[in-house]
Amino acid sequence: MPQNSALLSFLDNDFYKFTMQQAVTRLFPVARARYHFINRGKHQFPDGFAAALRNAVDRMAELKLTKSERRFLENNCPYLDPVYLDFLEGYRYDPQEVSIDQKGGELHVGIEGNWHRAILWEVPVMSLICELYYQLTNASRISDEEVLLRTKQKIEAYAKLGVKVAEFGTRRRYSYDVHRLVMQSLKAYGEGAFVGSSNVHMAMLNQTKPIGTHAHEWFMFHAARYGFKMANSLGLENWVQVYRGDLGIALSDTYTTEVFFSQFDKMYSKLFDGVRHDSGDPLIFADRVIAHYQSMGIDPLSKTIIFSDALDYEKVARIAAHCENRISISFGIGTSLTNDVGPKAMNIVIKMTEAMPEQGNWIPVVKLSDEHGKYTGDEAAIRLAKLDLSIE
């Protein structure tokens, strides 16, 4: 990927951004949202980084959905309706929705716009930040052949474990080129284990399944619109309203797993195919999920947990052994696939920070994961959410 270039495909984004976008266009067409870059790893950015990122973001205005890309979505994602696909064909990134500033080694990035537009920025901006960081700090990586071999060894090890693995590594990948090599190797050597990618462009290139449902921001917005106590239940209800049983994996930790399962009643437990784990101890989570289904009279083996929190082989092996013959499982593996090529992976996120559900005032939004270190949002809003939800 040439230095300072923008992305090469409109679909070079995570699938859940498109599935959420369709739901937003249908249910919340006037809503607005703000997102901010969070530098968890306290990385120092080199001089000129903001200008390079600005150039890359500006060039994203050139991207558009091609006819072949639309056909891929039509053939593989029947729950994306023709009206939404027409909207996607007409969508163009507006770089004015993204603010970029740099003070010394500190980078500041903000996104603001109508939610149905702003929702697409997070993943590509993060991937551009990572790629430009390695370019402008003159990082060096292992060779293409070593990338292919390392990925081959990983997917073959997962296959021996007997687990299903999806690639979830767009946001913090080393580069577009490394991502393509990883996908090439997963496709070539992952028979029986590799099931798809969260990246729609990579799924299309490799003729595999695009994977994803919704993210934390879906429930964070619902808290701004309906209040913290109603966020999970109405988030699930609205998802069902749009997708009618498709895309049935629910994200469980926006306001802690305990709160989620107190609201994940028998109807939702039967209707959704399973849940996704993204924070906290995965073994404790698995036990909690299994006990929940059993309490509802539901066979846990008929349901699935998708684990997606900072996975590597050792963690996957431990989870697989713990869950064997107890509940169906699969794994979404990100950074350890797409950014294991030499330099240390970046620890960065972009999160929704405020929402304006209707015409009116901006409302702070928060995420209260099962790990306190993954809390995001305004401190006063976090305190209010914990009080409202009786979280210690």
Q: Around Cβ 97, how many Cβ atoms within 10 Å?
A: 17
Domain boundaries, the chain: 15-140+348-376, 144-338
Give 38: exposed, middle or buried? Use CB within 10 Å, 0-12, 13-18, 19+: middle
Counting other chains too, the contacts that 312-320 makes at CB distance below 8 Å and 24 or more residues apart are 312/336, 313/154, 313/157, 313/158, 315/282, 316/158, 316/161, 316/163, 316/165, 317/161, 318/282, 318/283, 319/282, 319/283, 319/286, 320/161, 320/162, 320/163
Splitting the chain (392 residues) into consecutive groups of 10 residues, what average pLDDT does each group show?
A: 64 98 98 97 98 98 98 98 98 98 98 98 98 97 98 98 98 98 98 98 98 98 97 98 97 96 97 97 98 98 97 97 98 98 97 94 95 88 95 89
Note the pLDDT tens digit of each residue in 300-312: 999 999 999 999 9
CATH architecture of 144-338: Alpha-Beta Barrel (3.20)
State the Cα–Cα distance between residues 83 and 325, nearest whole angstrom. 43
Cα torsion through 160, 341, 4, 64, rounded to 10: 0
pLDDT value of residue 6: 57
State the Cα–Cα distance between residues 243 and 80, nearest whole angstrom. 9
Tell me the C-alpha to C-alpha distance, in Å, between residue 363 and each of 233, 289, 353, 356. 20, 32, 9, 6
Instruction: Establish whether domains 15-140+348-376 and 144-338 are of one fold.
Output: yes
pLDDT value of residue 4: 42
pLDDT value of residue 7: 81
Token couple for 135 = 């370019």
State the Cα–Cα distance between residues 182 and 170, nearest whole angstrom. 11
Which residue in the block uniquely carries the two structure tokens 């590509």? 124
From 329, 284, 321, select the one nearest 302 (Cα to Cα). Answer: 329
Please compute Rg for the chain using Cα positions.
20
Phi-psi region of 48 (alpha: psi -120 to 50; beta: other; left: phi over 0): left
Q: Please provide the DSSP assignment of 226-260 as one string.
A: H-HHHHHHHHHHHHHHHHTTSS-EEE--TB-HHHH
From 360, 359, 352, 358, select the one nearest 381 (Cα to Cα). Answer: 352
What CATH number should be reported for the domain whose range is 15-140+348-376? 3.20.140.10
pTM assigned to the model = 0.97
Tell me the C-alpha to C-alpha distance, in Å, between residue 229 and each of 30, 382, 391. 23, 14, 12
Q: Please provide the DSSP assignment of 47-67 as one string.
A: TTHHHHHHHHHHHGGG----H
Q: Helix 216-226 and helix 228-243: axis angle, to 10°?
A: 120
Listed in sequence order, the residues at least 6 apart from 257 whose beta carbon sits closer than 8 Å to its beta carbon are 280, 285, 288, 370
